[in-house]
A and B are shown apart, each in its own frame.
Chain A
Amino acid sequence: MSLNQLTISAARDALRKGEVTSVEITESCLSAIDGADALNAYCAKTPEIALAQAKAADARIKAGDAPAMCGIPLGIKDLFCTKGVATQAASKILAGFKPEYESTVTQNLWDAGAVMLGKVSMDEFAMGSSTETACYGPAVNPWKIDDRQLTPGGSSGGSAAAVAADLCLAATGTDTGGSIRQPAAFTGIVGIKPTYGRVSRWGVVAFASSLDQAGPMTKTVRDAAIMLGAMASVDPKDSTSVEIPVPDFEAALTGDIRGKKIGIPREYRIEGMPEEIGKLWDEGTAMLRDAGAEIVEISLPHTKYALPAYYVIAPAEASSNLARYDGVRYGYRAKLGAGDGIVEMYEKTRAEGFGPEVQRRIMIGTYVLSAGFYDAYYNRARRVRALIKRDFDQVFAAGVDAILTPATPSSAFGLGEMADASPVEMYLNDVFTVTVNLAGLPGISVPVGLDAKGLPMGLQLIGRPWGEGDLLNHALVLERAAGFTHKPSKWW
């Protein structure tokens, strides 16, 4: 096994024992990255930074000052602002932008001794489920069927591809409607979206502020627990950061869920869902039952309104959040013709700088907030959101500890396969995940099996607010029972 294939926990233990150095692991990752251009996972490589950080980490480890993430090389989603390093949110409109500041999440990671290998690709402004909206071209799933290239999902598709192909030990992701959990499921890795307010949004390029939340994408549940602990913090710079101390998530991993109550929501058994997904769900249910949990059927009656509500609220916020990309202060500015004024500068810059999916969502968001439509769309969607949250509150109040659902309605699809489909078909990828964002809950995707095509499939566990430790423990049980050890065979 080469060093880039290590998990965080294995690397941590080996580093602490002095069996390996961070520089060695980092070099192994850098060489894997250099050999994986075909996956198009990294949009910016930062080997100098990586090696400098690795050396510093080795010194800290030697000095006995080694937090869990010390010396662990990571891929960083292009949505996180990294000081002095290109940060583009996979959009042409941020071409050439290098922030003068470091996001709270990445700063927390660097403070813990982690190492940045580079920036990983994503859908433009995190809007998409396939990374096909990235201005760098799509990232490619290391899993494939015959010669067909597949999407690693999105929007954190570059993160997922990099982790699944061992181009890093783990990566950061962000999740607004499923952008961590869907790509994790498509690539056979673990991804957790924490409770809204657990992880600071400061320095993360905003998509939909009331839904965005960053989280780790890792090879194992234990790694997710370790890395989430390093990413999370109470941040006075983010007014939506909640003042609840960050617990030791790894300490919650007892592997014991006896007597816990697992809810199976009947509304998630949707029409047209592939049989294999339903079968996987049943198997996962059985695994948790066998581990001593009590299985109960539950109802989340407003589930069917979640996707439409999400696709009103998220674009509404996005249309406002993305207004700042106007060509005035930073990033891309269109070439102007003689006589062009400020209006032409806005129009040309934004028409040339934003891709079609981002433009579509800005248009939708602008429409639903406009006078005369606000109540019919935005306000109604907010009410639906409150009802969805109430559904979950009632289930948890009735004693349910975690909810098990499929993570995605299918396994990974082919790149270009959705090119002619309506945008709504792409949006259906989020059907199981958006409810969690609307309710602000923690959700985790765990790889559980392969489908008939040999592609990974994941299940989602949804936890109580601020109960990430308990949620991760449930995920650990599922991971152990599923025994998912499959890796994509290297073709790149």
Chain B
Amino acid sequence: MLDHLSYKTPEPKVIAGAKADWELVIGMEVHAQVSSNAKLFSGASTGFGAEPNSHVAFVDAAMPGMLPVINEFCIAQAVKTGLGLKAAINLRSAFDRKNYFYPDLPQGYQISQLYHPIVGEGEILVDMGPGVARKVRIERIHLEQDAGKSIHDMDPTMSFVDLNRTGVALMEIVSRPDIRGPEEAAAYVVKLRQILRYLGTCDGNMQNGNLRCDVNVSVCRPGQYEKYQETQDFSHLGTRCELKNMNSMRFIQAAIDYEARRQIAILEDGGVVVQETRLYDPDKNETRSMRSKEEAHDYRYFPCPDLLPLEIEQGWVDGIAAAMPELPDEKKARFVDALGLSEYDASVLTAEVENADYFEAVVAVCDDGKLAANWVINELFGRLKKDGAEIDASPMSPAQLGGIITLIKSGDISGKIAKDLFEIVYTEGGDPAEIVTARGMKQVTDLGAIEAAVDKIIAESPAEVEKAKANPKLVGWFVGQVIKASGGKANPAAVKEIVAQKLGI
């Protein structure tokens, strides 16, 4: 399906340094919270915004002797995500312990999957505008536990710990360094988020931290990246720095741009980029060193002895595959091919799965993709935006909007009346066809009635008749008067024809 939409590869971003041109090479590690009611290894709730330490099982608090038990639903969600990214599913995976001390990590280790992740190689097609897309390879997806939250600003002398988030399942989705600019990086996150939301495996809420990114950035001279792609030999690329914990598209772009320019300045000065972890400060728009490679933790990974290797059956994976929803690329292609939408409209409508679902429900009623797209995108979205509402909270149902479009198609109402009707249905509710009948909003195509109205205007306006006979362009004035007199219901085409005929022009 992907190849169905033919696309061009975008040009990499080039930054002109003081001495030469430079290209960017970017890889992403996205931490996506698995949509699941319970945590990865305990039955505690994952609900957001609860009282601190109210969603904590004994194992989450690392009480002595407590043991983790794998939540099968989280495994299914990871597999579903893998299938959605066209990735290999590993029927045998294993959990490892990543050891480090921190108060919001009660066990003193995070259970993760270093050596044998559940999902292997896949890909994402990142849209960069109509007909332009970047294919980004996915290296792996592994499951791991989230940490809790340390709170340092509640008391001058004490720190507090909230373990509600401790043990919540995360998917770490690791890309290859196939992203070539700040805009592509943001677009990658947008696309990944879109797919996850279509799949229902992560809600993609970046504000709540349910989707966070670590970005690996390096720079190289033009031509070097192609050598890397040919050989997969990283020595052709520059030394990378990792920007930690980015949770907004805007910051991702700004941070990458800053970081690339910082590295270029160092290199052009004859220096070397030090591999390290850096933090982005949005207030100052700069990145700062967090820890260097030498200071990096030794996590002492080893297989978690409390959990046996995870073995899943192909049949179980097939069952998940059979129940997969239609994904954005496929939906977009279908909207273009089968419903005749422009690629732009199809992109807008498929950006959020709720919008696409709404649109399809409208089409099901009115059976006109193009009209439905116009009305959903231009009228409904505009109206919702005015109210600051999301599509889920739309006061107008797809059946109602479909009903309005059906009345337009049948010629029962004009486009102008339809907009009035839209506002009535939007604010007051009700069945569009009934409203049109009850309020006499039907378009008048009764030629007799129109003729009478035209005769009346002609009789009342002898001066205008003379002018129009001399200058036929003035016929529009008569048409306007007739439509005005009919309360907007007279069919403009019919009026124009009759006026012309009566005036003999």
Cα-based distance from A182 to B101 in the complex (angstroms): 35
Any B CB within 8 A of the CB of A371: yes
Using A370-B298, A374-B302 as known contacts, say yes or no to A320 and B65 having CB atoms under 8 A apart. no
Using A324-B62, A378-B302 as known contacts, say yes or no to A239 and B99 having CB atoms under 8 A apart. no
Instruction: Point out the residue from A103, A237, A317 that lies within 8 Å of B305, measured CB to CB.
Output: A317
**Is A100 in contact with B58, judged by CB distance below 8 angstroms?**
yes
**Is B64 in contact with A99, judged by CB distance below 8 angstroms?**
yes
**Is B101 in contact with A326, judged by CB distance below 8 angstroms?**
yes
State the Cβ distance, B501 to closest chain A Cβ, in Å: 87
Any A CB within 8 A of the CB of B167: no
Any B CB within 8 A of the CB of A446: no
Any B CB within 8 A of the CB of A208: yes
Using A89-B64, A202-B65 as known contacts, say yes or no to A239 and B306 having CB atoms under 8 A apart. yes
Any A CB within 8 A of the CB of B200: no
Using A100-B58, A101-B58 as known contacts, say yes or no to A324 and B106 having CB atoms under 8 A apart. yes
Cα-based distance from A81 to B65 in the complex (angstroms): 7
Instruction: Point out the residue from B58, B69, B70, B306 that lies within 8 Å of A209, measured CB to CB.
Output: B306
- Majority secondary structure of chain B interface residues (helix, strand, loop or mixed): loop
Instruction: Point out the residue from A202, A204, A328, A369 that lies within 8 Å of B300, measured CB to CB.
Output: A369
Any A CB within 8 A of the CB of B232: no
Cα-based distance from A236 to B71 in the complex (angstroms): 12
Any A CB within 8 A of the CB of B209: no
Cα-based distance from A208 to B304 in the complex (angstroms): 11
Instruction: Point out the residue from A238, A240, A323, A342 that lies within 8 Å of B159, measured CB to CB.
Output: A342
Cα-based distance from A251 to B370 in the complex (angstroms): 79
**Is B70 in contact with A324, judged by CB distance below 8 angstroms?**
no
Q: What chain A residues lie within 8 Å of B103 (beta carbons)?
A: 326, 328, 342
Q: What chain B residues lie within 8 Å of A201 (beta carbons)?
A: 65, 67
Cα-based distance from A248 to B224 in the complex (angstroms): 71
**Is A329 in contact with B69, judged by CB distance below 8 angstroms?**
no
Q: What chain B residues lie within 8 Å of A369 (beta carbons)?
A: 99, 300-302
Q: What chain A residues lie within 8 Å of B68 (beta carbons)?
A: 239
Q: What chain A residues lie within 8 Å of B302 (beta carbons)?
A: 316-317, 320, 369, 374, 378
Cα-based distance from A261 to B306 in the complex (angstroms): 35
Cα-based distance from A210 to B300 in the complex (angstroms): 17
Q: What chain A residues lie within 8 Å of B159 (beta carbons)?
A: 342
**Is A202 in contact with B67, judged by CB distance below 8 angstroms?**
yes
Cα-based distance from A81 to B64 in the complex (angstroms): 8
State the Cβ distance, B309 to closest chain A Cβ, in Å: 11
Cα-based distance from A369 to B297 in the complex (angstroms): 13
Cα-based distance from A195 to B65 in the complex (angstroms): 19
**Is A323 in contact with B99, judged by CB distance below 8 angstroms?**
yes
Q: What chain B residues lie within 8 Å of A342 (beta carbons)?
A: 103, 159
Give a binary string over B292-311; 1 marks a CB under 8 Å from any A CB, 0 the rest: 00000010111001111000
Instruction: Point out the residue from A100, A103, A371 that lies within 8 Å of B298, measured CB to CB.
Output: A371
State the Cβ distance, B311 to closest chain A Cβ, in Å: 12
Any B CB within 8 A of the CB of A264: no
State the Cβ distance, A465 to closest chain B Cβ, in Å: 15
Cα-based distance from A346 to B61 in the complex (angstroms): 17
Q: Which of B63, B103, B301 has the most CB of A within 10 A?
A: B63
Cα-based distance from A97 to B58 in the complex (angstroms): 14
Any A CB within 8 A of the CB of B108: yes
Any B CB within 8 A of the CB of A94: yes
Using A323-B109, A342-B103 as known contacts, say yes or no to A237 and B61 having CB atoms under 8 A apart. no
Cα-based distance from A239 to B64 in the complex (angstroms): 16
Q: Which of B65, B66, B99, B161 has the most CB of A within 10 A?
A: B65
**Is B64 in contact with A87, judged by CB distance below 8 angstroms?**
yes
Any A CB within 8 A of the CB of B107: yes
Tell me the nearest residue of chain A to B58, going by C-beta. Answer: A101
Give a binary string over B98-134; 1 marks a CB under 8 Å from any A CB, 0 the rest: 0101010011110000000000000000000000000
Any A CB within 8 A of the CB of B165: no
Q: What chain A residues lie within 8 Å of B64 (beta carbons)?
A: 81, 87, 89, 94, 97, 99, 205-206, 324
Cα-based distance from A323 to B308 in the complex (angstroms): 21
Any B CB within 8 A of the CB of A447: no
Any A CB within 8 A of the CB of B442: no
**Is B305 in contact with A209, judged by CB distance below 8 angstroms?**
yes
**Is A320 in contact with B67, judged by CB distance below 8 angstroms?**
no
Q: What chain A residues lie within 8 Å of B300 (beta carbons)?
A: 319-320, 366, 369-371, 374
CB neighbors of B among A370-399 (8 A):
370-371, 374, 378
Give a binary string over B129-168; 1 marks a CB under 8 Å from any A CB, 0 the rest: 0000000000000000000000000000001010000000
State the Cβ distance, B143 to closest chain A Cβ, in Å: 15
Cα-based distance from A19 to B99 in the complex (angstroms): 57
Tell me the nearest residue of chain A to B98, going by C-beta. Answer: A320
Q: Which of A103, A240, A323 has the most CB of B within 10 A?
A: A323
Any A CB within 8 A of the CB of B278: no
Give a binary string over A79-101; 1 marks a CB under 8 Å from any B CB, 0 the rest: 01100000101000010010111
**Is B305 in contact with A210, judged by CB distance below 8 angstroms?**
yes
Cα-based distance from A99 to B159 in the complex (angstroms): 25
Cα-based distance from A203 to B66 in the complex (angstroms): 6
**Is A324 in contact with B67, judged by CB distance below 8 angstroms?**
no
Q: What chain B residues lie within 8 Å of A136 (beta carbons)?
A: none
Any A CB within 8 A of the CB of B240: no
Tell me the nearest residue of chain A to B62, going by C-beta. Answer: A324
Any A CB within 8 A of the CB of B97: yes
Q: What chain B residues lie within 8 Å of A206 (beta carbons)?
A: 64-65, 306
Any B CB within 8 A of the CB of A330: yes
State the Cβ distance, A315 to closest chain B Cβ, in Å: 12
**Is B65 in contact with A329, judged by CB distance below 8 angstroms?**
no
State the Cβ distance, B99 to closest chain A Cβ, in Å: 5
Cα-based distance from A371 to B301 in the complex (angstroms): 9
Q: Which of A240, A322, A328, A374 has the most CB of B within 10 A?
A: A328
CB neighbors of A among B298-331 (8 A):
298, 300-302, 305-308
Cα-based distance from A300 to B336 in the complex (angstroms): 71
**Is B65 in contact with A237, judged by CB distance below 8 angstroms?**
no
Using A320-B97, A323-B109 as known contacts, say yes or no to A236 and B61 having CB atoms under 8 A apart. no
Q: Contact residues of A with B, CB < 8 Å?
A: 80-81, 87, 89, 94, 97, 99-101, 103, 201-206, 208-210, 236-240, 316-317, 319-320, 322-324, 326, 328-330, 342, 346, 366, 369-371, 374, 378
Q: A87-B64, A99-B65 are in contact. List 18 more A-B contacts (CB 8 A).
A: A80-B65, A94-B64, A103-B65, A201-B65, A202-B67, A206-B64, A236-B69, A239-B308, A240-B306, A320-B99, A320-B109, A323-B109, A329-B61, A329-B62, A366-B300, A369-B300, A370-B298, A374-B302
A-B complex: 7 closest residue pairs judged by Cβ atoms: A323-B108, A209-B305, A369-B300, A210-B305, A324-B62, A203-B65, A205-B64
Cβ contacts A to B, 17 pairs, < 8 Å: A99-B65, A100-B58, A100-B63, A202-B66, A203-B65, A205-B64, A236-B69, A320-B109, A323-B101, A324-B62, A324-B106, A326-B103, A329-B61, A329-B62, A329-B63, A329-B106, A374-B302
